[in-house]
Amino acid sequence: MVVAALGCAQMVRFGSTISALDPKSVYYGVMSVLIAAIWLALLTAYRTRSPRIVGAGVEEYRRVVSATLATVGIVAVLLMIFRPEYARGYLAIAFPLGLTGLLVGRNVCRAYLARQRRHGRCVKTVVAVGDAQAVRVLVQSLARGFSYGYSVVGVCLTGRSSGGTIEVAGVGTLPVLGDAGKVRDAILRTNADAVALTTTDYLGPDGVRELSWELHKLGVDLVITPGVMDVAGPRLTMQPVAGLPLIHVEKPQYSGTKKIQKLAFDYIVATGALLTAMPVMIASAIAIKLTSKGPVFYRSERIGREGQPFQMVKFRTMVDGADEQVSGLLQVNDCVGGVLFKMKEDPRITSVGRILRKFSIDELPQFFNVLGRDMSVVGPRPPLRREVDTYNDQVRRRLLVLPGITGLWQVSGRSDLSWDDAVRLDLSYVENWSITNDLLIAMKTVRTIASGTGAY
């Protein structure tokens, strides 16, 4: 990607051919080689291909961007010091093109790697150690995040001897390889690549140290889970104190500079989306009016930030008066958990409405809600009042931020998600909000909408 970007920049800026007889071609060819060497060296120095970050999460992309910006900085300093002849247009083409190519290339490779890992290939095998409840949570989390490449092949349970199995909901059964003192035997039996400790109380500091020494001899990684859930990496800071590693968990930030960033992001995206999609919105409004009786827009009361109600606007995709028919359809609710009401084959949806829903065109008017500050572009799913009435104190944290047109629930299955999964994703977003995550979710939403997965 780096070589292609520099070659393309040279051809675009100086002509369609590169000739060894042309002094300018040779000069910029040498410059391209030097820039490529610096760029590739920094990509290596930033460890952009580390097995611990490749395949999932934003860290891989962050390191690629950081390495590229460092390359720009070094090249700029060298040009200022040595003042060689160069064309600004050449560099202005090369760096953006190269960065785009690197990120797109990574994304394509990730998609391939995720497919391999979904089928159990290209994974790091793990033996989970701890009590039964903590091990179940760990196994379920690693199964959900299959793209990270961890596969649990066996467990060592405190107080359990070798033999038998443990049932993990949503995953299946795993063999019990012994108690916490049989980790070495479990590694030799399974040939696992890593050991994951869910808690360390039963081993104590000396036991953990001895286990790490033993695993080092076997060439096996040791992973210790801190016992906190759905906390993003930027909120975690490890601070050694007198030999004891303390993990500091930062509080979620919803004010100050982050609030301004969120506001700017919402206004820019909402305005751009409305201007771009206006022809589609006009055509949709005409189609709705010509094919069914009733208003073009559907207004529904939703509960926003701090429990404040507002009127959410969408294109009408059902027959007029569809809300009055909900009570008669509750017995055929397709939503797992029963709090939400979803039907894959809802008889109230019109023919035009089905198309609008498939590609989320019906949600475009919600950008007016964003401009009115009732909603955000990215956030938790906007709930109905009857849903909020069922919330416990934990779920009610979803109301700390504005609800969103899209969110983690939108790019992780949409209507195919169970109630528990939807809540988990919304709470994770609330706890770990950042402008970088909003950008990534927005980009993933475009891909999800194009596929039409989970939309009904």
- The pLDDT confidence band at residue 377, using thresholds 50, 70 and 90, is very high
Q: Beta strand 236-241 with 244-249: parallel, antiparallel or unpaired?
A: antiparallel
24 Cβ contact partners less than 8 Å away, ≥ 6 residues apart: 14
Q: Coil, strand or helix: which one is 434?
A: coil
DSSP state of 168: E
Residues in the chain: 456
Report the pLDDT value the prediction gives residue 124, as an integer from 0 to 100.
Answer: 92
Backbone phi, psi, residue 251, to 5°: -70, 145
Same domain, 142 and 196: yes
| In-domain check, residue 384 | yes
Segment 354-376, tens digit of pLDDT: 899 888 899 999 999 999 999 99
Segment 16-66, tens digit of pLDDT: 555 555 666 677 778 888 999 999 999 999 999 998 888 877 789 989 999
| In-domain check, residue 150 | yes
Same domain, 187 and 266: no
**Mean pLDDT computed over 201-209:** 80
> Please, are residues 105 and 1 in contact by the beta-carbon 8 Å criterion?
yes
Percent of the chain at pLDDT > 70 equals 87
Distance CA 262, CA 378 (A): 9
Boundary of a domain, candidates 118, 133, 152 = 118
Q: State the pTM of this model.
A: 0.67
> Please, are residues 415 and 342 in contact by the beta-carbon 8 Å criterion?
yes
Same domain, 326 and 299: yes
**Among 29-33, 152-156, 171-175, which stretch is predicted with the lowest mean pLDDT?**
29-33
- The pLDDT confidence band at residue 198, using thresholds 50, 70 and 90, is confident
Segment 261-301, tens digit of pLDDT: 899 999 999 999 999 999 999 999 999 999 988 899 999 99
Boundary of a domain, candidates 118, 137, 166 = 118
Same domain, 358 and 325: yes
User: How many CB atoms within 10 Å of residue 33?
Assistant: 12
Total count of domains within the chain: 3
Same domain, 218 and 297: no
Sign of CA dihedral 201, 204, 207, 211: positive
Distance CA 219, CA 317 (A): 58
- The pLDDT confidence band at residue 303, using thresholds 50, 70 and 90, is very high
Same domain, 385 and 401: yes
Buried b (16+ CB within 10 A) or exposed e, 185-220: ebbebbebbbbbbbbbeebeeeeeeebeeebeeeeb
**pLDDT of residue 234 exceeding 70:** no
258's enclosing H/E stretch is helix 257-291
| In-domain check, residue 265 | yes
| Angle (CA) 439 339 370, round 5° | 35
Same domain, 308 and 445: yes
**CATH code for the domain in which residue 192 is found:** 3.40.50.1980
Same domain, 159 and 297: no
Same domain, 129 and 205: yes
Distance CA 312, CA 298 (A): 8
> Please, are residues 394 and 376 in contact by the beta-carbon 8 Å criterion?
no
- The pLDDT confidence band at residue 89, using thresholds 50, 70 and 90, is confident
Boundary of a domain, candidates 227, 244, 267 = 227
Segment 388-436, tens digit of pLDDT: 888 888 888 888 889 999 988 878 766 566 777 788 888 888 888 888 8
Same domain, 265 and 350: yes
Q: Beta strand 376-378 with 404-406: parallel, antiparallel or unpaired?
A: parallel
| In-domain check, residue 69 | yes
| In-domain check, residue 195 | yes
Same domain, 387 and 300: yes
**Mean pLDDT computed over 215-235:** 79
Q: Is 421 exposed, middle or buried (0-12, 13-18, 19+ CB in 10 A)?
A: middle
Task: Give 68 or 437, the one with higher predicted confidence.
Answer: 68
Same domain, 359 and 320: yes
Distance CA 440, CA 181 (A): 43
Domain that holds residue 90: 2-118
Task: Give 166 or 346, the one with higher predicted confidence.
Answer: 166
Task: Give 110 or 330, the one with higher predicted confidence.
Answer: 110
